[in-house]
Homo-oligomer: A and B are copies of this chain.
Amino acid sequence: MSVFRSTIPDVAADEPMVQLLAADGTRSPHPEFDAVLAGSGLATPERLRGYYRDMVMIRAADLEATSLQRQGQLGLWASALGQEAAQIGAGHASREQDYLVPTYREHGVAWARGIEPWRLLELFRGISHGGWDPNALRTHPYMIVLGSQAPHAVGYAMGLQRDGVVGTGDPTTDASVLALFGDGASSEGEVAESFTFAASFQAPVVFYTQNNQWAISVPTSVQSRVPLAQRSRGWGIPSVRVDGNDVLAVLGAVRSALDSARAGNGPMFVEALTYRMAAHTTSDDASRYRPAAEEEEWAAKDPILRLRRHLEQQGEIDEQYVTRCDEEAHDLAMQLHHHIHGMEDPDPVRMFDHPYAEPHPIVDAERAEYLEYISQFEDEEERA
């Protein structure tokens, strides 16, 4: 083999994928992640039932959001259907003190971080560009310019280093950052630059890609000829590919990577192989670019069903629990429905509220101008 060829894997597409739960719910052992799960208490039957409930809830919210969009209540909705394990798992794998940096499709992550779904819906309704306090919830706003959030994650992690909360040996106070981006976004130069900064400064950040096979209509193969998990290795950043529809594999990989990062061992990268079951957004028509057979194939790998089967096999879940989850999910959907339908449009003058943190004469003048202009109509209305 040539001196060049010997430097890359022989068959690059052969990247092992860690799986703890098969599609039918069967559990396989994985000494390393089993230890992580056991040590962290993240995989007790109670927690697992909790994840099941979380996934059911967030899926219901997601479906409701789609229908609210159809009703004209939202401008757009980006469904995360099929990615629930990858998101709920990653969200719960992070510790309270960690900072999460999502994209725009991280509804399960948001849920796990305690961000109420209606806050997400607000965004897609067009009420605000971001409704929560990132520092209070330790979760960055939803980010739309692909890849742009990755350097923010690294910078935040550099801040953690300077705050002395990395590598002290106490994982309950040491912190790290989870940087999320999609398979498509992985091609953005800013993601690569983030790898560079993270590696050079050994920042406590874990890069996490939900490879859901598609970037709108473009398959992952256009972004990378080799499994994405391999990308970061060019920077010496260790990485692993896990089954993203297997909440246990996600929990094990992400928790172990975050804990390694918080311990001061530098960045890591996790690729979670999953599938975007719905179209890209409510504006998209997936039938134009992918075969129904593919969607069916992945329907069989449904992450929620998989966890339920596993719990059933273990005798850790009963019909009653499942029913209660469904009922709660239905209630959540109804709440969302009413919340959104009951929403009044914001007074547009609010657009002048936050362009700057400090007073700005142009903004002040334009706000005044706007109010004066608007008042004409109010006067007219009053006169009428």
Contact = CB atoms under 8 A, between A and B. Distances in A.
Interface of A: 2-5, 7-9, 12, 18, 32-33, 187-193, 196, 199-200, 202, 221-226, 229-240, 253, 256-257, 260, 268
A200 B220 CA distance: 10
B32 A2 contact: yes
Nearest to A197: B187
Contact of A238 (B5, B191, B202, B229): B5
B189 A238 contact: no
Contacts of A202: 225
A327 B204 CA distance: 58
Given A196-B223, A200-B223, A233 B7 contact: yes
A224 B238 contact: no
Given A2-B260, A4-B240, 15 more contacts: A2-B32, A4-B268, A5-B238, A7-B229, A7-B233, A8-B238, A12-B236, A187-B196, A224-B235, A224-B236, A226-B235, A226-B236, A230-B236, A231-B234, A231-B235
B7 A32 contact: no
Given A225-B199, A234-B233, A4 B239 contact: yes
A237 B8 contact: yes
A213 B182 CA distance: 34
The interface residues of chain A, by DSSP majority, are classed as helix
A32 B2 CA distance: 7
Nearest to A230: B234
B236 A225 contact: yes
Contacts of A189: 188-193
A200 B253 CA distance: 28
B32 A240 contact: no
Contacts of A231: 234-235
Contacts of A229: 7
Nearest to A227: B236
A9 B222 CA distance: 27
Nearest to A189: B189
B234 A7 contact: no
Contacts of A188: 189, 193
A19 to B, nearest CB: 12
Given A188-B189, A189-B190, A193-B189, A4 B200 contact: no
A237 B231 CA distance: 10
B234 A222 contact: no
Contact of A200 (B191, B222, B240, B257): B222
Contacts of A199: 224-226
A31 B35 CA distance: 48
A98 to B, nearest CB: 18
Contacts of A32: 2-3
B238 A225 contact: no
Contacts of A238: 2, 4-5, 7-8
B233 A233 contact: yes
A12 to B, nearest CB: 4
A237 B233 CA distance: 12
A232 B233 contact: no
Given A189-B190, A234-B231, A256-B4, A225 B200 contact: yes
Contacts of A222: 200
Given A188-B189, A196-B187, A236-B12, A257 B4 contact: yes
Contacts of A233: 7-8, 230, 233-234
The 7 A-B pairs at the shortest CB distance, nearest first, are namely A189-B189, A234-B234, A192-B192, A226-B236, A4-B238, A231-B234, A12-B236
